[in-house]
């Protein structure tokens, strides 16, 4: 069996992956750790200045080690930083394959402009609302209440939490992604207003073993919108890797 490690994004938690239950092939062992930037842990993490090091601790704690790491949104960027850092130090991260879902990425520092800050900041509550709406789709929430819940979530994240996210995003052009030889599937969603799909394509093009996959009819949370497709895409990617991924000890 192969260890699959699922990394949720900022202000979510491991429950964001629950829609995938029952869709994974039997030969995959799924781990969904709670990360330092989970919805209830922002207060402890928001002053953190090295999220990549914290992620390293999380991966080191996975029994048997990760076979493939699937990272969403903010976590995909933190994972990318960790991969780049280790590759630049000639000490590649011991992960056979990664899947980066809706990453925030720009290859050129000049692509960041002053007038982009306000729109990204203003879009944060909408992204939070989308997450809440999809997770509670079986019990719809009226729009006014949904907007209030999203606003409260962004207030909980606060300026420090948002700056941790934006600082990581701003540093993506400095990541030595050209040195990362880990096979990588980079998923972008055409209807994602938070992390445009073209950013996923640019990242995949710069990764030596990167492959881009664009989903035409999904927003920022494909694991909630199309769970069967999502698990199938990850499994198909793994089957195309020559050495597959690290098997569990004793498997």
Most confident of 22-31, 71-80, 133-142, 145-154: 71-80
Evaluate whether residue 190 is within a structural domain.
Answer: yes
Count structural domains, the chain.
Answer: 1
Please tell me the predicted confidence (pLDDT) of residue 251.
36
Does the pLDDT value for residue 250 go beyond 90?
no
> Is residue 133 a part of any domain in this protein?
yes
Give pLDDT tens digits for 196-215: 999 999 999 999 999 999 99
With bands split at pLDDT 50, 70 and 90, how would you rate the model's confidence at 244? Answer: low
The domain in which residue 232 lies consists of 2-239
Domain with residue 195: its CATH number is 3.40.50.1820
Per-residue pLDDT at 249 exceeds 60:
no
pLDDT tens digits, one per residue of 117-167? 999 998 889 998 998 888 887 778 898 999 999 998 899 899 999 999 999
Mean pLDDT is lowest, of 55-64, 66-75, 232-241, for 232-241
Looking at per-residue pLDDT, the higher value among 227 and 243 belongs to 227
Residue 73 reports pLDDT greater than 70: yes
Question: What confidence tens digit (pLDDT) does each residue in 155-198 have?
Answer: 989 999 999 999 999 999 999 999 999 999 999 999 999 999 99
Q: Region 10-21: what's the mean pLDDT?
A: 94
What integer is the mean pLDDT of 48-68?
Answer: 95
Residue 205 lies in a domain: yes
pTM of the full predicted structure? 0.93
Over pLDDT 90: what percentage of the chain?
A: 76
Q: What is the mean pLDDT of residues 90-103?
A: 96
Per-residue model confidence (pLDDT) at position 243: 62
- The answer to the question of residue 245 being in a domain is no
Starting at the edge strand that comes first in sequence, how are the strands of the sheet with 2-7 ordered? Answer: 28-31, 2-7, 68-72, 98-101, 184-189, 210-215
Q: State residue 92's pLDDT score.
A: 97
Task: Give a yes or no: residue 79 inside a domain.
Answer: yes
Mean pLDDT for the stretch of residues 72-94: 97
């Amino acid at each position: 069996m192969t260890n699959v490690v699922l990394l949720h994004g900022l202000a979510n938690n491991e429950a964001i992956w629950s829609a995938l239950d029952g869709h994974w092939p039997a030969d995959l062992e799924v781990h969904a750790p709670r990360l330092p930037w989970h919805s209830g842990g922002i207060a402890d993490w928001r002053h953190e200045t090295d999220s990549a090091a914290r992620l390293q601790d999380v991966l080191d704690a996975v029994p048997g080690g990760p076979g493939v790491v699937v990272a969403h949104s903010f976590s995909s960027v933190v994972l990318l930083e960790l991969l780049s850092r280790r590759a630049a130090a000639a000490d590649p991260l011991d992960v056979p394959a990664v899947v980066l879902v809706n990453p925030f990425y720009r290859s050129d520092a000049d692509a960041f402009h002053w007038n982009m800050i306000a729109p990204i900041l203003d879009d944060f509550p909408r992204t939070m609302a989308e997450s809440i709406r999809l997770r509670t789709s079986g019990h719809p929430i009226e729009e006014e209440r949904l907007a209030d819940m999203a606003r409260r979530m962004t207030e909980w994240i606060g300026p420090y939490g948002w700056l941790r996210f934006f600082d990581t995003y701003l540093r993506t052009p400095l990541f030595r992604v050209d040195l990362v030889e880990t096979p990588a599937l980079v998923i972008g969603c055409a209807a994602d207003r938070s992390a445009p799909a073209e950013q996923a394509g640019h990242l995949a093009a710069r990764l030596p073993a990167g492959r881009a996959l664009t989903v035409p009819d999904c927003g920022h949370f494909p694991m909630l919108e199309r769970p069967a497709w999502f698990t199938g895409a990850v499994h198909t990617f793994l089957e195309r890797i020559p050495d597959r991924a690290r098997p569990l000890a004793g498997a």
